[in-house]
């Protein structure tokens, strides 16, 4: 019986830690408001709390797009940041899969 209690408490603690990490990584309205045109990829990643996934790269125009899940429902929403020559040009937030 004591082992079961320890296991349950451990699972609760792990869940709390993971949910805390999830909320610190990714876009929120406050974080998006802090982004500034001309920021480096590293600066923008720091503002958003984690690195995004590179989803598009165009060697001809030096454009790169990175994507983060969110804000809000991460399965449904995404935010894409467009960089030219490694500097933030613009960002968009929309629904995934045309939802």
Torsion of CA 91, 84, 31, 14, to 10 degrees: 100
Torsion of CA 44, 49, 51, 53, to 10 degrees: -90
Q: Tell me the pLDDT of the chain (99 aa) as tens digits.
A: 455 544 434 434 443 344 444 458 999 999 999 999 999 999 999 999 999 999 999 888 899 999 999 998 888 999 999 999 999 999 999 998 765
The structural domain count of the chain equals 1
Domain that holds residue 79: 26-98
Q: Is residue 3 part of a domain?
A: no
pLDDT number for residue 23: 56
Return the structure tokens found at 82. 């467009």
Distance between CA atoms of 73 and 78, rounded to whole angstroms?
9
Best CA proximity match to 13, nearest among 23, 21, 24, 2:
21
What CATH number does the domain containing 86 carry?
3.30.1450.10
Q: Is residue 9 part of a domain?
A: no
Query: CA gyration radius for the chain?
Result: 17
């Amino acid at each position: 019986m004591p082992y079961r209690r320890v296991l349950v408490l451990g699972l609760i603690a792990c869940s709390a830690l993971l949910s805390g990490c999830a909320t610190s990584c990714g876009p929120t309205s406050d974080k998006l408001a802090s982004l500034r045109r001309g920021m480096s990829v590293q600066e923008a990643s720091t503002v958003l709390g984690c690195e995004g996934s590179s989803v598009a790269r165009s060697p001809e125009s030096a454009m790169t797009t990175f994507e983060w899940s969110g804000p809000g429902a991460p399965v449904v929403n995404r935010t894409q940041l467009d960089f030219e020559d490694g500097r933030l040009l613009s960002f968009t937030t929309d629904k995934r899969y045309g939802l």
